[in-house]
């Protein structure tokens, strides 16, 4: 799966990466207001990672919806949206299912990369 992310004050930049490519470690992503409604509630989220300390509660499998993950982690709210600074990191052994802030995530096996 190829992932495209935009950055810059007006979203003028673009980075294209392959899963597991950690050469770019941080991306700024703009999540729109009411993104759950805009996606017909079709935001797949896998995680957070299995170890539920404060940091791990915000680590999601790379194939997860960025905005859905940010809402679930409490970084932004669904009504207002907002900017999210996404940090790529090494994948985890497992991701758990949980429900927070109106987003229910799915459990998943390990992955090579995460955010």
pLDDT confidence of residue 10? 46
Instruction: Report yes or no: 107 and 97 within 8 Å, Cβ to Cβ.
Output: yes
Parallel, antiparallel, or unpaired: how do β-strands 108-109 and 94-95 relate? antiparallel
| Total of domains in the chain | 1
Residue-number span of the structural domain to which 69 is assigned = 3-114
Domain CATH number, residue 29: 2.170.130.20
pLDDT tens-place string over residues 93-115: 899 999 989 889 999 998 888 88
Global pTM value: 0.75
The residue-averaged pLDDT of 67-83 equals 91
CB 115: neighbour CB atoms within 10 A? Answer: 23
């Amino acid at each position: 799966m190829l992932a495209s992310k935009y950055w810059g004050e007006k979203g003028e930049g673009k980075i294209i990466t392959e899963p597991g490519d950690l050469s770019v470690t941080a991306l700024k992503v703009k999540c729109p207001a009411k993104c759950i409604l805009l996606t017909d509630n079709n935001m797949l989220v896998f995680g957070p990672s299995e170890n539920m300390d404060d940091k791990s509660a915000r680590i999601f499998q790379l194939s997860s919806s960025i905005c859905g993950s940010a809402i679930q982690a409490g970084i932004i709210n669904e009504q207002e949206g907002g900017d999210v600074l996404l940090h790529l990191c090494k994948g985890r052994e497992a991701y758990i299912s949980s429900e927070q802030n109106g987003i229910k995530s799915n459990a998943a096996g390990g992955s090579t990369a995460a955010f």
